[in-house]
Amino acid sequence: MIQRRQILALLALTLMWGINWPMMKLSLREITPLYFRALTMSFGALWLCVFYRARGLRMWPRAAEWRSVVTLGLPNMLGWHAVSILGVKELASGRAAILGFTMPIWTVLIGVLFLGEKLTRRVAFAAASVAVAITLLSSVEFNALSGHPLGIVWMEIAAVLWAVGTLMLRRAHLTLPIETLTVWMMVLASVCLWLIAWISEPWPAWQFSGAIWVSLVYGAFINYGFAQIIWSGLARNLPPATSAMSVMAVPMVGTLAATVIVGEWPHWQDFAALLFVAAAIAAVLMPPRTLLKTP
């Protein structure tokens, strides 16, 4: 039975994650993508480290545990966060969110193709739904004079990396707390992002407008801070169907919030694609009894 406190926490988490997409787009008006990720993730990792240390968690991995930090951190943190921000740079933020949250479908498809999992009708339906969604969003980008279809490629690569990382995490035999693992994956990714940004992007002027500073603080302390804390607390006890509903709601929140934060008005294709992605996620994540249950 889901408690009222868990429902409120889940609603807060969905709002935080959804609003983060247009907030990222806002930040990219004055700072380059990889420096944005490096800056916000670094301060987020520092905040989480202080918070979890104050709660008495073991924050230093043992010798053998560093391997898990590196192998799981590369796809889950560095891969997803570095590649997805390149997609946000090219696309409308709501559109990027919809494409990014095709991750659960990629997770199932990778399991079918490479891990010997069974191909069911629900998985086939999910794959077809995602294909329709990507086609709808691609049509918008190719038809728009300022369209950037490369952003679709970036977002799907990011979603696949996130899916691979999720599968690796499910199969990992961890001996350190998941909170500690998260912090050190963020630290590893931050170091790599600073290095890659220094090589590939011009050094920021660090003279941002007030709105941009707000968005940077949001990215560091809300998205990488409070949202991670809430999710760590919910992930152990939340039913899969409830998690799926949260996942499906994030792109919707991002699409609607973008109209207020960055002035992006969605097309009908965006809403149609969102429905197809939501249907696909429901097909692969929700238990059959949940889908078939009548009032």
What pLDDT score does 278 carry?
85
Instruction: Specify the pTM.
Output: 0.88
DSSP for 224-291, written as a single string: IIIHHHHHHHHHTT--HHHHHHHHHHHHHHHHHHHHHHT-PPPPHHHHHHHHHHHHHHHHHHS-HHHH
pLDDT of residue 295: 39
Write down the domain spans for the chain.
86-203+211-286
> Per-residue pLDDT for the chain (295 aa), expressed as one digit of tens each?
557 787 788 889 889 999 999 999 999 999 999 999 999 999 999 999 999 999 999 999 999 999 999 999 999 999 999 999 999 999 989 889 989 988 888 988 898 888 888 878 888 888 888 888 888 887 776 665 445 678 889 999 999 999 999 899 888 898 999 999 999 999 999 999 999 999 999 999 999 999 999 999 999 999 999 998 888 777 666 665 555 566 778 888 999 999 999 998 888 888 899 899 888 877 776 666 544 443 3
In this predicted structure, what is the pLDDT of residue 239? 60
> 210-217 and 4-27 are packed helices; what angle lies between their axes, rounded to 10 degrees?
140
